[in-house]
């Protein structure tokens, strides 16, 4: 409350934000490299990671989840199907709907991808346990609970 003695909180927050931005930028290439490593495009990678392997989801729900147009879902699923990662399945109750389900190859690729994506980079492992705990504490309040997948 009494500025001058201590650093203003807004300035502190701004600095943290700039650090986060810098780290975002630095990691864009890393993700592209991970995708390329498995011979995937970034769109394929994103799609593969956000598909539920078990049940299969109707195309429409994917458009909502990926926040894109339905025609774009058709396009992406076409690519994924061409690569043998997913297949379209009819739904008994409503013959208009198609569910997108993962093939064994798709699931295998998804798991390899998850392993790489979740592997923390070197510089993170180089932090101390105390620093990591503090980051977890702070970041945990920033990130909406459901946005991990």
Partner DNA sequence: TATTGTTATACTCTATAACTATA
Partner DNA sequence: TATAGTTATAGAGTATAACAATA
Alpha-helix residue ranges (DSSP H) falling in the chain? 9-37, 42-50, 59-65, 70-82, 104-118, 122-125, 129-142
Q: Whole-angstrom Cα distance, residue 43 to residue 113? A: 13
3-state secondary structure of 55: coil
Total chain residues near DNA (CB under 7 A): 28
Q: Which of 99, 103, 72, 98 is nearest to 85 (CA)?
A: 103
Residue 55 as a binder of DNA (CB under 7 A): the answer is no
Q: Binds 105, which of a second copy, DNA, none (CB < 5 to 8 A, cut-off by type)?
A: none
- Secondary structure (H, E, C), 106-148: HHHHHHHHHHHHHCCCHHHHCCCHHHHHHHHHHHHHHCCCCCC
Scan residues 109-138 and list those touching a second copy (CB under 8 A): 117-121, 123-127, 129, 131-138
Q: How far is the CB of 72 from DNA (least distance, A)?
A: 4
Q: Which is nearer to DNA, 49 or 70 (CB)?
A: 70
Choose, by CB under 7 A, the member of 58, 65, 103, 107 that binds DNA. 58
Least distance to DNA from the beta carbon of 23, Å?
19
Q: Is 144 in the site for a second copy (CB under 8 A)?
A: yes
Which one of 56, 74, 112, 116 is in contact with DNA (CB under 7 A)? 74
Which residues here bind a second copy, judged by CB under 8 A? 6, 9-10, 12-27, 29, 67, 117-121, 123-127, 129, 131-144, 147-148
């Amino acid at each position: 409350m009494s500025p001058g003695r201590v650093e203003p909180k807004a300035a502190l927050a701004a600095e943290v934000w700039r650090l986060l931005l810098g780290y975002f930028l630095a990691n864009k290439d890393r993700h592209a490299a991970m995708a390329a490593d498995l011979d995937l495009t970034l769109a394929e990678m994103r799609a593969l990671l956000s598909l539920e392997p078990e049940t299969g989801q109707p195309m429409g729900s994917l458009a909502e989840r990926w926040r894109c147009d339905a025609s774009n879902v058709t396009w992406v699923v076409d690519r994924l199907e061409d690569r043998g990662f997913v297949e379209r399945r009819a739904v008994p109750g409503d013959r208009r709907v198609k569910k997108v389900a993962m093939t064994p190859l798709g699931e295998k690729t998804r798991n390899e991808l998850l392993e790489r994506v979740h592997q923390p980079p070197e510089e993170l492992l180089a932090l101390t346990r105390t620093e990591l705990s503090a980051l977890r504490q702070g970041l945990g309040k920033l990130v909406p609970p459901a946005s991990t997948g």
